[in-house]
Structure 1
Amino acid sequence: MAAPALSVEQQIKQLDDARKLVLSDANYYPQIIQGILPIAAPGARVELRRWVSDFLAETFASPSIPAQQKETMSLIVLDTLKSMIENPQEDAAVVKSVVQTAASVYPLVVRWIINNSYDGPTWEKMLAIKSRILRIWDTAATGVRICCIKFAQRVVLVQTKGPDADPRRGDPLEVSLSMVPPNHPLIPPNNLQAEASGLLDRMLAVFQENISDAILVDATLNSLSILIRARPHIANRILNVILNFNPLKQANSPMTPKSRVMIKSMEKTTRSLLVHILKRDNQHPLAGKIQQYVERMMRSKSDIFDEQTRKRGPPEPTDGLDAAKRQKLSAQVKPAAPKFHVPPLAPGSHSVAELFTVTTEEGLKGFDVAQLAEHLVVQIGITILQRLDADTLNQAVEGVRKRLQSMSAAQPEMLNAATAPLDVEEDDDYEPDFYGAEDTEQILNKLDGAPPLEETKLQAPAPDMALGHFTLPAPPPLTHEQVAQVGQGTVARVFEVMQTLEEKGKTSKAGINRLAASAYDRPAWITIITRLATRASAGLEEVNAVKLEPHQMPPFSLGNNIRESLYRYIFEDFRKRIDIAVQWLCEEWYNDKMQMKSGEDAVLHYEKWAIKVIDGIVPYLDGQDRALVIKFLGEIPGLSMEVLERVKGLCVNPTTVNMALQSLLFLVAYRPPARELVLAAVEDVWNTYEDARPVVVKLFTKYRPDYAERIKAVEEEKKSNGVAEVPQAVAA
């Protein structure tokens, strides 16, 4: 039997529970995003589409989500945003949230396209969303138009050149035209800059037209403040337009209450923006013009809106007396403090609360002050003491003092048990003056009549109250699964610390002898992690591993666990983290050499992980990664035929064949110890890939002239005999 369909209210309640979950832990955002996107299908209820659009806008505006995670999620939501914004019958609230989301997503998508120029479909989706937003800018409702202004401001911010990046800032959301390569196939910088200039003119047009909507003007001014601060090279262009704008121009016509409020709002927003610019930079080139503009605007506003007040004169006091005069009159006649009576306490015992209770109202006596918060009691007490008359306070203190005196006079004298004589019982008829203290002889006589000590022990043995030795029980031994789980958690926390550190522009040049903990930055932390992976368990690993059953798990290894985590961390963004891969492999190579010196049965790791790293890189390389491949092959400490086989595999793809050959040429020229090994790989490339032969001939002419002459002879023989291919056995 199928489960009954949930109502809209129940679905929204479940969605609100999911929102509370991600607000408490941001790691659940990717799962929740992928789960709610089908809810926003074109045929869904408008309430659900509103919730989804609002949630997306809130998600991409949240500062708690890392920029890299936002970039990944932005690629997922583009299809949903495109379907929503292109629907002509879409609800205005949904469109408003979609435009807000697009404004947050646009820099993330541009940064993705900068680093991944092959992803044309993603850029096409973003262009469709952008063109749709710019088309509805002038015709949509006011709330949507405000969001369109924000989107245009974000586009201008991304598609204009920003200041030089400061590595100490660490702003992951800073995307500008300076980051775009000059020959980018999808986003040419000249086209982006021209579009940004046109959008800026469209934003500034609101000040040059007779637009009476103060909401649009204020929204534009608030958006321009960000551009003035972040893009100094277009700040003067924006300020010149604002200085020619007169928000009080419409005050010449008869004003209604609505127009009066709108004119004041535009004037105040304009003046606040200009004053803020002067406060941030009083040496601004347009500081003089801005100061004159602000003063002229304040005078004009005073002439227009304060004319009626000046004609009537200053307002009169409502009660006929000035405040200062009232103070003088009150100072002349000071009323006497009323007589405050503190009733005496009735005979008998009383509590401390009854002693200090001076009021006679039963309702106040029964009120429990402990029900109030501590800070509230303190505030009430301070306020009462400030307003309480000194004579009244003195009278209350005197009344409490009399109560204490009456209680001490009525209390009988009690016997001190510590100084009482022996065999004296406390009773009301006891008079200590009639008895003298016992002397030494009387005490000895009493002891003579007492039973012997041994008898006393036998008759009444005292219980043994001494505590024995207590030891906590030993904790239960950890299972293999628990050890692996705890180790995984420890390694994960180590990498979380590295994620929070700033990535500095300069790295250490001390080489293998650098200090790992010399500074609390990302390079130092990476050095610590790589050395934990390579050196922590060095010499403790078994060469001949025990053969495990299918249901058994391999033994936990801290070094291999860190290596796996380090491998995943590098391939999250291997183009930017290739330096970390090289540093890690250098540590592995050094550790292998040290282990080989210490004994023959050493476990070696360098070759295994070097091949695994290059196997992970090769499938994602394109023709623009030449510098990355050359850097990796040129800086890893050891080259083997297995590594070169992976480089040779790049010759299969016509787009990467030149990159592979140039990398091999670099190794031949700048790594002489590996020259013969690389030349052997190049010979194999000649025999296998025809597209690579022209470059290979040039390489052989310089480094293997005999082989080049042999190839030339075979080529001539092929032309004379009409043979289609060069024999592969020519190297023999």
Structure 2
Amino acid sequence: MSAEEVIQGLSQVRGMLSTQPDTFPQVIQAVCGMASTTPHLEVQQWCSKFFVDTFSSEFTLVPWSTKQNSLASLLPVLMTLSSVKDVYVYKNVVLTSTCVYDMAFDLVAKVSNQSIWNDMTALKTKIIQDWDTTYPLTPSNDDTDKFKSIGSRLASTKFISKVIVVQSAPLQSSDPRRRATSASNEISINQVHPNHTVLNKLALDVEAQKLLDTITSYLQAEEYLVPQVLIAIIETLVCIIQRRKQFIPKVFQAIASLDLDSKYQQSKDKFIKFKLMKRFVERAIKNALNYCMKAGLITPQLPQNGTFQTMVSSIDARMAEQRKKGILTELPGEKARRKIKVDPKNPFPRDATTVEDNSYTSLYQLIDETNPLLDFDASLIPQETLANIAIATIASVDTNKLITALSIVSARYTDLITKAGGSVLKQEVKDEDLKDDDLDNERILNANDDFNLESTFVLPEPKPFTEEQKKRHLQLIINNFFDLSKLPANHKSISSFNVQNEQVATSVKVADVAINEWGKNSWLLLLSRLATRGIASEDHELGDLIREAIYQYFVDNIHERIDVAIEWLNEEWFTEVTTNSSSDDTSRALVETPTYLKWAEKVLDSVIPFLESNDRKIFIRLLSDLPFLNAHLVSQIKSLCIDPQRSALGFQSLQFLILFRPPVKQACIEILRDLYENNEDLKTTTASLLKKYDTEFKPVDEPKSTEDSQHTAQSKSKETTAESEASKD
């Protein structure tokens, strides 16, 4: 049978669970049998996802005890699937193991099933051993290994946290009234009898301590900045100390010792990406510490309390300064803290084989940008001394190192020649060549043929530009426009243009000309129309070159250049609507505008990650002035609503769109519905908004405490304020 046929049959079997939950044991037996014998990767992926869905705590159709009874069939299959070299399958195996580990522990503690515990222990050992590796991917033995199999490593981190919690004991409450109920429903090592025949209580507790040491030491021991893993470990540690408060000193000591400036940057990453990665980790640290302070985990008596207060304030200060100056601006000392690990086989920090420009620095520089030698002026040294230094250096340098350096420079020179169209150096004209030309002219004049000096000479037609030449010349035009945008209004180039316009008689002026007088954003209008109505009509790729330049200019400072993005995107939309619409079109909303949608999505993608809670006016203005919005563009606001630090901005934006942009009202309501159904933390806020704007909304009836009622009242008050502020914008 083909993979599609097998998956179709398994899907039918799965459908039985929704109507006949009592068939769970038979369904598990069927899926386990297929997962352990099928040669199709697609089927293995389907089965692994099925195990995650059915054994998670969210799948409540089947009782806990019924799932426990299926572990004997499930665990050997998980061990088999863990050897499949596929990231999706392995990640689902680890997530399933996380779901069933407390089940297996509880079952073995009660019935002493040695076989189940052996299978669970083998699976646990494999996951822990493969945690900080590239498994199931093949290692490359370079710094890229640290950034492979991220999904699997995050799932393994979650599994390790579950093992630590289960294999350690919760602290007994000092209040005797709470002592009986504090851990009565929690599976832990307290369930294990000291003389248990299968579970060694002391060994399990020691293993939990070692696993905690493993993930806490990662924060300092890992050389590279791997943001996903660091953030996952920090959030996992917070969850652990909530349930096991005896680990608070060790966890907070590890977080306080975390030094992001000591982490290496991946060699192939750009510095801007490294800065963003570092910013995400700092935001996660700040959120975790703020949460611990509110939850009472960080108290004034804690030794690290002062350190954490300093960390949060310094992170806030850096983010505020970066927000003012732009993400591309280097803060004081930031460049000096940048670290790139040098490959021993290639000991040159700057080993790129391509050139950024035609400067000598781009061609010959092999040292790091932070090296103080870059600021040294070698022209101050006499030429004879420089010659002696060069000779002595070449005589003593390692041959392999010299060959490597020459190879890098040679590759750069080849790249420079290629980009320059095959000619870099101008040939010098010698006097002998001029004399030869004179003799040739004299021979032509004295020739006894029908040569006529008065005959009409027609210049040959120029050769058409190649695509590469078109791009190079267009880039020069774009650069000239950006240079012109930096000139002051009283510069002679701009003032002469305006003076010439003033001298033109009013009767001969064109009424509908786009630019009568050169202003601050005149260059943007020219570039936008060149991209949308000029070059784009002939060559879309060249138009994208201009669009990318405008986009990069906007990204450099999104807070002060929001007008640039709005004016440009309005030009894009207007041009596409007028070009693609016909006389039969009754609505402009039906006209396809793929170019506008593509670049509008890129603009939102670049704006949303850098927005702060006080950027409401900027963001709502962008949403109000964009000429067209659809459900896909609006869906990007969802990430703002989920972020605890910026959720108010996200909900204010959705309210504004619901009130003032009716075409996307339903899309906004769908976002609120999704948040209401899938995010418990936002349920109160989304419910109040849905009651107001969604006539079909039916809230889930749940008893509310006095505290919940107060929270709902506060939320409604905030919504009323948000509506009034949105109407002002």
Q: TM-score, normalised by structure 2?
A: 0.40
The structure with more radius of gyration: 1
TM-score, normalised to structure 1, is 0.40
